[in-house]
Amino acid sequence: MKVRKAVIPAAGMGVRFLPATKAQPKEMIPIIDKPTIQYVIEEALDSGIEDILIISGRSKRAIEDHFDHAPELEAHLAAKGKENELAAVRRISEMGNIHYIRQRQPLGLGHAVGCARAFVGNEPFAVLLGDDVVRSAVPCLKQMLAWHAELGGSLVAIEEVPLEDVSKYGVIKGAQVRPGVYRVEDLVEKPPAEQAPSRLAVMGRYILDPRVFELINQTAPGAGGEIQLTDALRLLVREKPLYGYRFEGRRYDVGHCLGYLKATVDFALEREDVREPFLRYLRGKVANPGG
Ligand code: G1P
């Protein structure tokens, strides 16, 4: 069955990025000049997704404004003859069908995804987490959808991480069934290094069977006292196939400082308008870090 719908949880408080996130949603923090959530939405649309539900929360209104028309700004840009800027601003408000619902209490990622039940109905759907931005030749979700069309079931994006990092992620136990594709036998949320079943960590892209909604309802609070999506998937594995896919591309955790800085540098070096002067600046910096 074709995957038409995607869910983007965006209700988190952004504690790892304070003080920037005190009065603005972390999803609106830009990499160069584009909010991170726009990268994620573009990935979904470039993968063929038709409808997107953003799970929003209190103090997240800037996200809705960003994807809405901005009549005053547009009139101002038109009056000044700033055609390029006007086209860019208009393009954002015409991006796909974006829907919103609020998660009323911050009860965890599993609970946030559970808020999408009425929107999704009884069809497979994608979940994209905004902290993970992926740079790749083929959009990460599109790569996953190709495997989903072939294998069916559910699919999570995975990446091998250093042992000291496994405790930050959901981690799978599984056996490779195709190049880069693992049949997941079990998974565990944020295990201590010595208890991790592997170094294959779940990254923020999922294609899920709607059965997961029932299972979220049966999931008790887990790691961090929150209802974890990983724990619901653990139940799903007992009933239906779940695959882990090592996607091609580079992932940035833009929810913390170093990942954010790396993303900024790498994305800037791909931008024709800033690449050369920025590279010159970086070379000078490397030669003389204190200068
Ligand atoms: C969430 C998930 C975790 C996953 C991670 C990917 O954790 O709970 O399983 O590995 O995203 O970024 P969070 O980063 O919200 O703590």
pLDDT of residue 14: 83
Q: Could you report the per-residue pLDDT of 230-289, keeping only the tens digit for each? A: 999 999 999 999 999 999 999 999 988 999 999 999 999 999 999 999 999 999 999 999
Domain assignment of residue 272, given as a range: 256-291
Mutating to test ligand 1, I would choose from 26, 109, 245, 256 the residue with most ligand atoms within 8 A of its C-beta, which is 109
Same domain, 225 and 106: yes
* Whether the predicted pLDDT of 15 surpasses 90: no
Question: How many structural domains is the chain composed of?
Answer: 2
pLDDT of residue 113: 97
Q: Which atom of ligand 1 is nearest to the CA of 132?
A: 12
202 close to 171: Cβ distance less than 8 angstroms: yes
Same domain, 177 and 285: no
Mutating to test ligand 1, I would choose from 113, 131, 187 the residue with most ligand atoms within 8 A of its C-beta, which is 131
User: Helices (H), strands (E): how many in the chain?
Assistant: 11, 13
pLDDT of residue 255: 87
Same domain, 211 and 267: no
d(CA 166, CA 19): 26
Q: Could you report the per-residue pLDDT of 71-110, keeping only the tens digit for each? A: 999 999 999 999 999 999 999 998 889 999 999 888 999 9
pTM of the model as a whole? 0.94
Alpha helices by DSSP H, the chain: 36-46, 61-66, 71-79, 83-93, 109-114, 117-120, 140-151, 211-217, 229-237, 257-268, 275-287
Same domain, 213 and 277: no
Quick check: CB of 109 below 6 Å from ligand 1?
yes
Q: What is the mean pLDDT of the chain?
A: 95
Same domain, 219 and 270: no
d(CA 250, CA 119): 30
Question: What is the number of other CB atoms lying within 10 angstroms of the CB of residue 236?
Answer: 22
DSSP 139-203: -HHHHHHHHHHHH-SEEEEEEE--GGGGGGSEEEEEEEEETTEEEEEEEEES--GGG-S-SEEEE
**What is the arithmetic mean of pLDDT over 128-152?**
96
Residue 11 pLDDT grade (very low, low, confident, very high; cuts 50, 70, 90): confident
**Cβ within 8 Å of residue 13, ≥6 positions away:** 21, 106
Same domain, 152 and 287: no
